[in-house]
């Protein structure tokens, strides 16, 4: 099917409508299957990208969406961004009622025009026009039409047949018209589950898909961005803010990033160079030098988000960051890189997708992307070191769940290369609790414990030593929310940044922890590390199981019983071993009136088919049940 054919089809379709008097947008026309789990249904979504030259891109969008209920309002997406390099030529919308009858027209000037700045961002020069419509009744339909033009062609729109949870799509299409001498690369991802129609001819690429059912989010599954079908496009020749460029693989793209974005921003004042050289003059080892410079950057700078230009890809000059003492991720990373260079250490700028979900760059498809920048430090005969330059408190080489274990683009003067960031293994994500718990005859407890956290466990709480007393009180009361009436006597932290380990010393008491009924006292033996979370149950699990990160927990608690009571019976040792992890719990007698509670819990990271989800959930249920183990004490006669 060529493009002309489609056009004539559309025309034919339109005439048919007039003749038959049926309203195409009527809600009754939506197939039943598409309404399941859907808050809104995309009736049609057609994007046409016109790349008739490398320095101009015109994008025409027509999107018809039927909103079924209140939650569906967020899927309207009737908005366009613009900035100094792009503008909105046309934007309008028509609202239809459930019978498909037009009820309201919205013109360009009725769209709200706002600055596209989020709370964390100091400044962004991009703006947004969006539709602010109050529905009178559900369902209703919005037909949104827009046309934008941009001088930057480095970022061709992607074809996303489905772009949200609780949303289904009746039909959508994507057309890329381009100057036939250009070379367009295409990458199709996760398209197995949909019925994709593709046409290609000279200067034209056309994709279409139909009837995609809504999916709903499920706990412990792969991130939405990693499972939805998407088709990425890139032109080997493009313009970036008025400057032409060429790149067809990661190496060339990296070269371009280096030449165009990084090469001219690494200047530093002589005074700073002197200071830094002086700082490391007694160090012989590169890692030790880098560690000092990283600390220097952390002490000198702070993170401020400023977005200028399309996507804001170019870092501030290193000399500006040096003068101002702040920058965004690009500026701070580039600054650290420039400082390291002055002492002869080569470090590389790395583009990455940040966030808990590990979103990767595709090894075989070069494309400008990512939302964050970190620093890569290659070390001879060793694993690379990665530096997060926006944090004033992160230890040297600690990435945490923000940027761990994913493919990133590492840029050097030699070109670009895909590398994988550090993965945190089970043994690294370790938490060890050693403690002693005294119980008195009223059931009150008095606890002294030391909690040592490493790896991701460290990542969860290394900022605790910055908390005020009041916030700490709140933190512990939330962390041990199964203990009521906690009163904290002492907290002390030792944050060892060198070995990346946090040690918390805590002393607290709580009234009525053990429950007295009659002659008995009922005691939950796991005082400090009781799991209460059970993964959600799904009547019909659809998505496969993903455990992003594993960990290991070891507890050793000495429990001193009240003098007037004795243990009725000693619970048996418990050992569970599954493909998701293991659990071991033992209680031993430790002299006349004392017990030793030992627990070891391991969760393994990994991927499993959806059928395994209920077993995974059962494993957690089992852990929760075992953590809730109570022993019965009885009054001595």
Partner 1 sequence: MKKYILLLFLSTSLTIYSQDYKFGKISKDELQEKYNPLDSSAEATYLYKYRKTYFEYREDDGFVLVTDIHDRIKIYNQEGFAFATNSVLTYKSGGAKEKMTGLKAYTYNLINNKIEDDKLKKDAIFETEVSKFRDEVKFTMPNIKVGSVIEYKYKIISPFYSNVDEFVFQHAIPIKKLEAVFSAPEYFSFKFNVKGYLEVNPVNSKVFDKIVFKNKTRAEHTSATPTKFSTSTIDYSNSVSKFNLTNIPALKEELYVNNINNYRSSVKYELSYTQFPNASVKYYSTSWEDVVKTIYKSDNFGRELEKTNYFKDDIDKLLANNSNPQVRIGLIYNYLKSKVKWNGYYSKYTNNGVRKAYIDQVGNVAEINLMLTSMLRYAGLNANPVLVSTRNNGVPLFPTREGYNYVISCVEIPDGVILLDATSKYSSPNVLPFRTLNWEGRIIRKSGSSALINLYPKNKSKNTVAMMVNLNENGDLDGSIRTVKTAHQAMSYRESYLETNKEQFLEILENKYDDIEVSDFVVKNGTDLSKPVMETYKFYLENQADIIADKMYISPMFFLTTTINPFKLKKRDFPVDFGYPTTNKYMINIKLPKGYVVETLPEAKSLALPDNLGEFKYIVANNGDVIQLTIDSTINEPIISSLYYDALKEYFKQFIEKENEQIVLKKA
By CB under 8 A, tell whether 304 contacts partner 1: yes
Residue count at the site for partner 1 (CB under 8 A)? Answer: 60
Kindly tell me which of 135 and 203 has the beta carbon lying closer to partner 1.
135
CA distance 437 to 70: 51
Contacting residue, 6, 26, 94, 117, with partner 1 by CB under 8 A: 117
Residues 55-114 that bind partner 1 (CB under 8 A): 69-71, 104, 114
Residues 393-412 that bind partner 1 (CB under 8 A): 393
Output the six-digit token pair for 29: 């026309």
The interface region with partner 1, picked from 271-279, 395-403, 529-537, 584-592 by CB under 8 A, is: 529-537
Q: Could you write out the DSSP letters of every residue in 518-535?
A: TTEEEEES--S------P
Q: How many helices (H) and strands (E) does the chain have?
A: 11, 38
**Backbone dihedral angles phi then psi of residue 51, each to the nearest 5 degrees:** -115, 70
Environment class of 391 (CB within 10 Å of its CB; exposed 0-12, middle 13-18, buried 19+)? middle
Asked if 134 touches partner 1 (CB under 8 A), the answer is yes
Q: Residue 373 to residues 148, 349, 392, 409: CA-CA distances in angstroms?
A: 28, 7, 16, 9
Residue 8, both tokens? 């004539």
Closer of 320 and 384 to partner 1 (Cβ) = 320
- x/- track of binding to partner 1 for residues 25-44 (CB under 8 A): ------------x-x-----
Instruction: Choose between 98 and 477: whose C-beta lies nearer to partner 1.
Output: 477
**CB 589 → partner 1: shortest distance, Å?**
17
Q: x/- site string to partner 1, residues 574 to 593, per CB under 8 A?
A: --------------------
Closest to partner 1 by CB, 11 or 114: 114
Extract the tokens encoding 210: 């139909």
325 is an interface residue for partner 1 by CB under 8 A = yes
Helix locations, 121-249, DSSP H:
224-227
**Per CB under 8 A, 481 contacts partner 1:** yes
Residues 6+ apart with CB under 8 A from 577: none
155 with 212: CB under 8 angstroms? no
Residue 68 Cα distances to 61, 201, 274, 320, 441, angstroms:
22, 38, 65, 51, 60
Q: Is 13 a residue that touches partner 1 (CB under 8 A)?
A: no
581 close to 620: Cβ distance less than 8 angstroms: no
Least distance CB 114 / partner 1 (angstroms)? 7
Reduce the DSSP state of residue 577 to 3 states and report it.
strand
Of 49-57, 142-150, 353-361, 483-491, the window that binds partner 1 (rule: CB under 8 A) is 483-491
Single out the residue of 90, 536, 577, 611 in contact with partner 1 (rule: CB under 8 A). Answer: 536
Contact predicate 389/397, CB 8 Å: no
Whole-angstrom distance, CA of residue 605 vs CA of residue 389: 27
Which lies closer to partner 1 via its Cβ, residue 37 or residue 434? 37
Instruction: Indicate the pairing of strand 581-589 with strand 574-578.
Output: antiparallel
Q: Are 333 and 262 in contact (CB under 8 A)?
A: no
Give yes or no for residue 472 binding partner 1 (CB under 8 A): no
Chain-centre distance of CA 289, in angstroms? Answer: 32
Which of 87, 105, 216, 263 is the binder for partner 1 (CB under 8 A)? 216
Asked if 122 interacts with partner 1 (CB under 8 A), we say yes
CA–CA separation, 239 and 515 (whole Å): 72
The residue range among 26-34, 316-324, 406-414, 603-611 that interacts with partner 1, by the rule CB under 8 A, is 316-324
Q: Could you say which residues in the range 485-504 bind partner 1, by CB under 8 A?
A: 485-486
Q: Which of 263, 302, 479, 589 binds partner 1 (CB under 8 A)?
A: 302
Out of 284, 539, 591, 637, the only residue in the binding site for partner 1 (CB under 8 A) is 539
Q: Can you give the binding site for partner 1, defined by CB under 8 A?
A: 37, 39, 69-71, 104, 114-115, 117, 122-123, 134-137, 216, 299-300, 302, 304, 306, 320, 323-326, 392-393, 466, 468-470, 473-474, 477, 481-482, 484-486, 512, 515, 517-518, 520, 522, 534, 536-539, 568-569, 621, 624-625, 628, 630-632
């Amino acid at each position: 099917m060529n493009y002309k054919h489609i056009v004539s089809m559309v025309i034919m379709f339109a005439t048919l409508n007039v003749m038959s008097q049926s309203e195409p947008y009527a809600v009754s026309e939506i197939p039943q299957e598409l309404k399941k789990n859907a808050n809104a249904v995309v009736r049609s979504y057609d994007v046409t990208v016109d790349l008739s030259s490398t320095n101009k891109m015109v994008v025409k969008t027509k999107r018809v969406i039927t909103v079924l209920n209140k939650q569906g309002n967020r899927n309207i997406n009737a908005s366009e961004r613009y900035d100094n390099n792009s503008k909105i030529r046309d934007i309008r919308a028509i609202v239809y009622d459930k019978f498909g009858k037009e009820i309201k027209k919205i013109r360009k000037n009725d769209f709200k025009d706002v600055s596209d700045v989020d709370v964390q961002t100091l400044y962004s020069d991009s703006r947004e026009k969006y539709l602010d419509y109050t529905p009178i009744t559900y369902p209703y339909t919005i037909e949104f039409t827009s046309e934008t033009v941009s001088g930057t062609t480095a970022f061709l729109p992607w074809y996303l047949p489905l772009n949200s949870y609780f949303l289904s799509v009746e039909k959508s299409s994507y057309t890329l018209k381009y100057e036939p001498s250009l070379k367009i690369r295409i990458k199709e991802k996760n398209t197995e589950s949909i019925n994709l129609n593709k046409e290609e001819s000279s200067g034209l690429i056309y994709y279409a898909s139909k009837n995609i059912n809504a999916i709903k989010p499920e706990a412990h599954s792969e991130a939405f961005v990693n499972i939805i079908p998407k088709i990425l496009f890139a032109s080997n020749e493009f313009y970036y803010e008025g400057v032409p460029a060429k790149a067809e693989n990661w190496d060339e793209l990296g070269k371009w990033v280096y030449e165009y974005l990084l090469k001219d921003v690494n200047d530093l004042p002589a005074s700073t160079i002197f200071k830094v050289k002086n700082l490391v003059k007694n160090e012989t080892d590169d890692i030790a030098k880098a560690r000092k410079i990283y600390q220097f950057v952390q002490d000198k700078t702070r993170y401020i988000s400023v977005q200028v230009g399309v996507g804001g890809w170019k870092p501030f000059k290193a000399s500006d960051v040096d003068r101002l003492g702040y920058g965004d991720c690009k500026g701070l990373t580039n600054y650290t890189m420039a400082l390291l260079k002055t002492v002869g250490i080569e470090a590389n700028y790395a583009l990455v997708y940040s966030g808990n979900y590990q979103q990767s760059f595709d090894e075989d498809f070069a494309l400008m992307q990512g939302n964050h920048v970190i620093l890569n430090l290659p070390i001879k005969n060793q694993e690379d070191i990665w530096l997060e330059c926006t944090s004033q408190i992160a230890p040297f080489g600690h990435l945490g769940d923000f940027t761990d274990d994913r493919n990133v683009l590492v840029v050097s003067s030699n070109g670009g290369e895909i590398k994988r960031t550090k993965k945190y293994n089970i043994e690294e994500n370790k938490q060890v609790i050693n403690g002693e718990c005294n119980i008195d005859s009223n059931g009150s407890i008095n606890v002294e414990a030391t909690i040592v956290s490493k790896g991701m466990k460290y990542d969860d709480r290394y900022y605790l030593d910055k908390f005020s007393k009041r916030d700490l009180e709140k933190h512990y009361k939330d962390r041990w929310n199964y203990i009521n009436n906690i009163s904290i006597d002492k907290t002390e932290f030792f944050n060892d940044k060198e070995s990346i380990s946090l040690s918390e010393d805590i002393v607290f008491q709580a009234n009525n922890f053990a429950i007295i009924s009659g002659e008995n006292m009922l005691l939950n033996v796991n005082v400090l590390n009781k799991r209460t979370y059970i993964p959600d149950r799904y009547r019909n699990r659809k998505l496969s199981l993903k455990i992003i990160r594993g960990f290991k927990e070891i507890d050793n608690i000495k429990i001193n019983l009240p003098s007037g009571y004795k243990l009725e019976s000693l619970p048996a040792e418990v050992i569970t071993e599954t493909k998701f992890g293991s659990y071991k719990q033992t209680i031993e007698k430790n002299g006349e009136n004392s017990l030793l509670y030992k627990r070891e819990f391991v969760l393994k990271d990994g991927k499993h088919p959806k059928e395994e989800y209920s077993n995974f959930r059962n494993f957690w249920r089992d852990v929760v049940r075992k953590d809730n183990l109570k022993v019965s004490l009885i009054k001595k006669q």
